[in-house]
Structure 1
Amino acid sequence: MKLHLSLKTKVGIWILVGFLSPGMAWAQIESEKNDPYALVEVEVSQDYLASYKARRETHGIYYGVQYEPLVLSKYASTTQPGLKYKDLFGDEPIGLIRFNVDYKYNFALGSLAAGIDLATGSVSGSKSGSSMSLDVTKMGANFQFTLDMLMDEPYAAPYFGLNLWQMELSEKSPADSFSATTQMGYNYMLGVLVQLNWIDSEVAKDATFNFGLENTYLDLYITQYAKTESASDPNTETDFLYGAGIRLEF
């Protein structure tokens, strides 16, 4: 036996489905909310499993801390005229600790970074026959160009950097003291960032996913300080110095 639905019956069925559909959808949502095994789709803006070259975005941030054994080889004492840095402290360096935060712009060839740089350190000695100390604080701006797109992962990323700064020097002896803030000076840097993610790649991937930490680097470089723009400032020239530290990229 064949059943034929009239036009009126068909219209009634469609109206009934229309009324029931929202209720059925709501019931399904409530069921999924109460179901501990319901699947939830999570969308992330970055594929953290992809290589750095594929996943990196246009903008980033560097946080760095470095150590420089600063020797102001041409510095002349003010409290003990006629004596140079070597006469006061021998080969003992100023243990300069640098902190820097940089905004990073990424493009096809590599990246450009610019930010603030703060460094402080001191040295003491009695080579001149009396106890002497020299404290140094350096504040300024940091600029850097890095070739970090040469490989899928930046296992070794060479860079060129420039620091512009003012340096505050404070010299003390038992009988006298002297302090001054220089005019603008600079030092340039040639270095390489050595990626450390490979030490534990799973932890590195988790750090990228959970905290946005793209890379952890060992920062190795050489640098040389020049005179400031004022002839009356203490001489800040140096020979080539080395530096090393840790750099975090977010």
Structure 2
Amino acid sequence: MKLHQSLNILFTLLITFVCGSFSIAATNEDQSLVEVRIAQDVLAPYRERRGTHGFMFGVDYEGLVLKNFFSAIDGATYSDSYGSDAIPFIHLSLDYKYNFSLGSFALGADFGSGSIKGNADHSLDVTKYGAGLKFIADAILPEPYVAPYIGINAWQMATKDSNGTDSKSETTGIGYNYTVGLLLQLDWIDYETAKQATFNYGLQNTYIDVYATQYAKTGDEADVNTETDFLFGAGIKFEF
């Protein structure tokens, strides 16, 4: 009788221990799934709410005039074929942005393309791809209503020159262009929508980008002459 009672007690304790173990494990498992999220203060000024790292995506237009270009097919100069008309050049750019107390550095890649048709069936197609570095003074004010910047780009340029009966394609070596510009913030135009975009999509700023740039010749004398005067461009940039 005592043995039977002892076995009952031991069996009860064993069941209690096993159930308790499963309960603790389940509790720990539930606790491991708890996730705490702290929402970004989207109403804080940009200088306070931005993180150390960010990205910028941009689309812009510039009027490219290769003033010293001449056709390798028939020797016609740029002005002979196209007068003072500019090549409508469209750029796409993507930059990694490192933010610090004085502003930010933006390092990225860009791609551009444009074409022009002139007299006597002349046409010129230009493609450019490269990388660039900019310093942006976007921490001067709590909100970057105006953010000046300077930058340098390194690139290769591919051209296709045609006179209607013949064509010649060339690709240059590495060339450079230097840029000064202003980013003009648009968020103040519709503040509520801008704050919603920041909260929902992480869009920190939308800018109009206006700039002046000048292309230099490449180091190879056999390349197409890519030298220009100062050119002006404008576009839009989105910062995340």
Task: State the match for 1:246 in structure 2.
Answer: 236
Provide the C-alpha distance between the structure 2 equivalents of 1:188 and 1:104, rounded to a whole number of angstroms.
19
Q: CA deviation at 1:210?
A: 0.3
Provide the C-alpha distance between the structure 2 equivalents of 1:166 and 1:214, rounded to a whole number of angstroms.
32
Question: In structure 2, which of residues 99, 107, 111 is the aligned counterpart of residue 118 of structure 1?
Answer: 111
- Aligned residue type for 2:109: I
Corresponding pairs, count: 209
Question: In structure 2, which of residues 131, 155, 162 is the aligned counterpart of residue 172 of structure 1?
Answer: 162
Q: CA deviation at 1:44?
A: 2.6
Provide the C-alpha distance between the structure 2 equivalents of 1:174 and 1:70, rounded to a whole number of angstroms.
22
RMSD: 1.7
Q: CA deviation at 1:176?
A: 1.3
> Does residue 131 of structure 1 match 2:124?
no
Provide the C-alpha distance between the structure 1 equivalents of 2:38 and 2:232, rounded to a whole number of angstroms.
41
Provide the C-alpha distance between the structure 2 equivalents of 1:226 and 1:61, rounded to a whole number of angstroms.
28
- Aligned residue type for 1:75: F
Task: State the match for 1:158 in structure 2.
Answer: 148
Task: State the match for 1:50 in structure 2.
Answer: 44
> Does residue 232 of structure 1 match 2:225?
no
Question: In structure 1, which of residues 96, 100, 112 is the aligned counterpart of residue 93 of structure 2?
Answer: 100
Question: In structure 2, which of residues 203, 207, 211 is the aligned counterpart of residue 221 of structure 1?
Answer: 211
1:61-92, Cα deviation, whole Å (9 max, x unpaired): 000000010000011111111x2101110011
SS of the aligned residue for 1:54 comes to helix
TM-score by length of 2: 0.84
**Unmatched runs of 5 consecutive residues or more in structure 1:** 1-21, 27-40
**Unmatched runs of 5 consecutive residues or more in structure 2:** 1-22, 28-34
SS of the aligned residue for 2:142 comes to coil
Q: Among the aligned pairs, what percent are the same residue?
A: 53
- Aligned residue type for 1:191: G
SS of the aligned residue for 1:199 comes to helix
Task: State the match for 2:178 in structure 1.
Answer: 188
Q: CA deviation at 1:42?
A: 7.5
Provide the C-alpha distance between the structure 1 equivalents of 2:206 and 2:121, rounded to a whole number of angstroms.
41
Q: Aligned runs of 1:136-151 on 2, under 5 Å? A: 136-151=126-141
Provide the C-alpha distance between the structure 1 equivalents of 2:164 and 2:142, rounded to a whole number of angstroms.
58
Task: State the match for 2:70 in structure 1.
Answer: 76
Task: State the match for 2:59 in structure 1.
Answer: 65
Task: State the match for 1:14 in structure 2.
Answer: none
Q: Which moved more, 1:209-218 or 1:167-176?
A: 167-176
Provide the C-alpha distance between the structure 2 equivalents of 1:171 and 1:200, rounded to a whole number of angstroms.
46
1:75-117, Cα deviation, whole Å (9 max, x unpaired): 1111111x21011100111110000000000000000011111
